[in-house]
Amino acid sequence: MTTLNQVLQNPNMTVEELTNTLNERFQGDYDRLKAIADYVKTETETQFLTIMEMTDGKLVEKTYEMTSREMILMFADKAMEGNLLLVGTNNAFCFVGNPPAWFAYPEGVSDVEFLYVLNRMESWVMLLQAYLLTEDEKYALKVKQELLDWIEQNPRPALTTNNFSGGEGVAAPWRSLEAGIRMFKTWPSVLQYLAGTGLLTADIVEPYTISVYEHLEVLYEISPQYYPNADHNHYIMESLGLYAASVNLPELKDSQTVKEFAKLQLERCASIQITDAGGHLEGCPHYHNETMYYFYFAEMTAKRDGDQMSADYQALLDKAVSYTFHTLRPNGRNVPWGDSDASDSFPVRMGVYAYEAYNDPTCLEGIKSLTGETAVKKLALEYIWDMTDLTGFMDYLGKPAEAAISLPTSSFQKDEGTRDLKQICFRTDWTTQAYSVFFACRVPIYDTHQHIDPMGFDFMALGKPLIVDPGRFTYNGNEQEVTPVNGEKISGNFRKIFKQASSHNTLTVDNKDPFTYKDSWTYSYPSEEAYIGWINDLCDGQVLAADAEQHNFLPVIHKRLIAFVDNLYLLIVDKVEHLETDSKVQIYYNRDTERENLKITNGEITDSSDDVRVAFGATGNLESELTDGYVSDAMDVLRESVIVKYQDTETSENRYFGTVIVPYQATEAAPVISDVEVQSNGTVTYQKAGEDVEGEEIRISFSVNNESYQFSWITGKELTRI
């Protein structure tokens, strides 16, 4: 059994001396946090919390409007009873034990992520905030009880690589990721919130310190073996945990060596994981904003230690802000591409920590310009507990944005090799009413956080997400029962459903996905690289277009064009070549609206949504039908949507399809889309990168409200109006 003198640099230091040292060291944190708590008591700004609650034997959606203080106390009081809101519980509070059963699933829960998140102890922070807000020691004593119980119930396994990896939960609660998160996000709060109160006592300081040292051994010796290339978001969190703990407890043996190593790893992570175009290596907007928060937190940790990260490190973070902006929908929520949520809070959190780390308001200014300062303030209140200048920060939050986002309205996330995200974002302007498209074709994928639907896209216009990427919903690869928002209980393998192509805005051949889903984290796919390109910004911005090509259906090849026309219409053209005579192509569009709002009458799709509607027009070789779809704005939250599915009626080897999508207000007459035609006009040869390239000219024509449009698409080169 490890003893305190075995983990300290000075083995003669007593637990009483260490306790006094920690109380003195963190007294300033307590004073700062107490001032923040006093401010939160007076803050009247409200925000909405939507959760599922059991009513008359069924889960129903409930929305609460609360101040920040009220929300903290609600979560803290639930935690006092042993009820937590965790992954895998259908966005409902779930009894986890009191104290928690750290390695057990409650009835009806099968998601291993539940165990992982439970062992991050995120409820501790709100319990300790509740302690400062109420001065009721019961909240702090609950944290002390759980800390001691966790340490007693979960002795650290032997330091071998098979004891700390994910797998099927075998490593929970000692998975290396949770070890890292505990060390920078939750366990330091015990020191910060209790210093000088008489509650940071020797009875917890001794086991706490020994356990922190055991955490550092995992993060120093095991984590680098999992991520030798520093190329995964987990390694950022694990290195950050290593860094924060060695800064917070310099009394630990080898803490200086560990600290220097951790800082170096964080620098490595930034240089490897932030691409030349500014995006995060994994290509998921959610994880981009998440990892930038960690990188900013690392700078804050360095400052706490009287140090700083390198200038190159800061330059990389500065570059990453543009990706955050380009991957925001015009409503201020990030596109839920890959394993992402349609989150408004994560971009704001990134901005809050950029402000604290570098006094840089760029990110917050941009989001303010889209959603307004009040909306940003509501979201930022959750994160003010890490601010060192509360008065200055709140004064800044209350001011309108000084200027709109000044970036170009298009972005091509291009790099070399595995760092090439193959993503294109374009929008008509930087207002909330803009038309915006996120379009991607990353083959092969980098890791399994990404989508497996090449040439999918996300489209928003007139302030509403319309043709959407569905998001992630869950990491649980098992069959499960879930209750959609305002719906009846349904069952299925929702990880698979949300990953398959038919949930996305792309196509299949003979109902086969371009990737084969095997399980939650395993897919098979061809290794041949796909192409995506930004082909033009013509006619003073009135025609914005990109095209792509992927070979996942070999010998079948799929080419796609996506374009804005006159800042009013979305045009999608697909060429599918080398098909067998009896093969059929299916094209899918995930319309974010309730099922009863879409109908097919005499072959025409009609939309009766209350606010913004969508008109569809397609080439005559496509037959339409409507099927059930799903959308998830946040983990564990599922809404029903409608899949507009087109199936081709041809038998030719090479087939050409076109879809015209026109958004319009419900108060307006439905636009009439007619005469949509797409046909080949033969091959052409052109120069690209100094070499002759053979492309194809594809002629496109359609009419909207009797106004005709004609275009020439030379694949891989350009789109021109004729």
In a domain, 650, yes or no: yes
- Overall average pLDDT of the 38-45 stretch: 96
In a domain, 38, yes or no: no
Task: Determine the structural domain holding residue 716 and report its residue range.
Answer: 441-721
Q: What is the pLDDT of residues 202-257, one digit of tens each?
A: 999 999 999 999 999 999 999 999 999 999 999 999 999 999 999 999 999 999 99
Domain count, the chain: 1
Q: Say which residue the tokens 């041949």 belong to.
A: 528
Which CATH number does the domain housing residue 687 bear? 2.70.98.70
Which residue type does 290 have?
A: E
User: Is 129 domain-assigned?
Assistant: no
- The Cβ of residue 498 has, within 10 Å, a number of other Cβ atoms equal to 22
Assess if residue 353 is contained within a domain: no
- What is the chain's Cα-based Rg? 27
Q: In terms of residues, how long is the chain?
A: 722
Nearest to 292 by CA among 228, 331, 348: 348
Whether residue 519 is predicted with pLDDT greater than 80 in this model: the reply is yes
The mean pLDDT of 539-546, rounded to a whole number, is 69
pLDDT exceeds cutoff 90 at 522: no
Residue 563 has pLDDT above 80, yes or no: yes
Whole-model pTM?
0.95
> In this model, does residue 451 exceed pLDDT 60?
yes
Cβ contact 341:633 at 8 Å? yes
Q: Would you say 79 and 118 are in contact if contact means Cβ atoms under 8 Å apart?
A: no
pLDDT at 170: 63
The average pLDDT across 122-139 equals: 99
Reported as a single tens digit per residue, the pLDDT across 333-343 is 999 999 999 99
Contacts of 328 (CB under 8 A, 6+ apart): 285, 334, 335, 347, 367, 370
Return the structure tokens found at 337.
Answer: 């591409």
C-alpha 547/C-alpha 440 separation (Å) is 10
Sole residue written with tokens 């026109």: 662
**Helices 233-248 & 285-304, crossing angle to 10 degrees?**
20
Confidence at residue 450, expressed as pLDDT on a 0 to 100 scale: 74
Say if CB 610 and CB 616 are below 8 A apart.
Answer: no
Q: What percent of the chain has pLDDT over 70?
A: 98
Q: Taking 80 as the threshold, does the pLDDT of residue 527 lie above it? A: no
pLDDT on residue 540? 46
For residues 541 and 235, which has the higher predicted lDDT (pLDDT)? 235
Is 663 within a domain?
A: yes
DSSP H helical ranges for 307-445: 311-326, 345-358, 362-371, 373-380, 390-397
What pLDDT shows up at residue 661?
99
Phi/psi region, residue 186 (left: phi>0; alpha: psi -120 to 50; beta: rest), is alpha
567 within domain boundaries: yes
Structure tokens at 114: 């539940």
More confident residue, 296 or 449: 296
Cβ neighbourhood burial of 544 (10 Å; 0-12, 13-18, 19+): buried
Domain membership of residue 544 (yes or no) is yes
Q: Does residue 677 sit within a domain? A: yes
455-480 average pLDDT score: 95
pLDDT in tens, 291-307: 999 999 999 999 999 99
Distance CA 196, CA 186 (A): 19
What's the confidence (pLDDT) of residue 539?
Answer: 42
Cα–Cα nearest to 459, from 439, 440, 436: 436
Per-range mean pLDDT, top range of 172-176, 352-356, 534-538, 564-568: 352-356
- Please give the DSSP secondary-structure letter assigned to residue 155: P
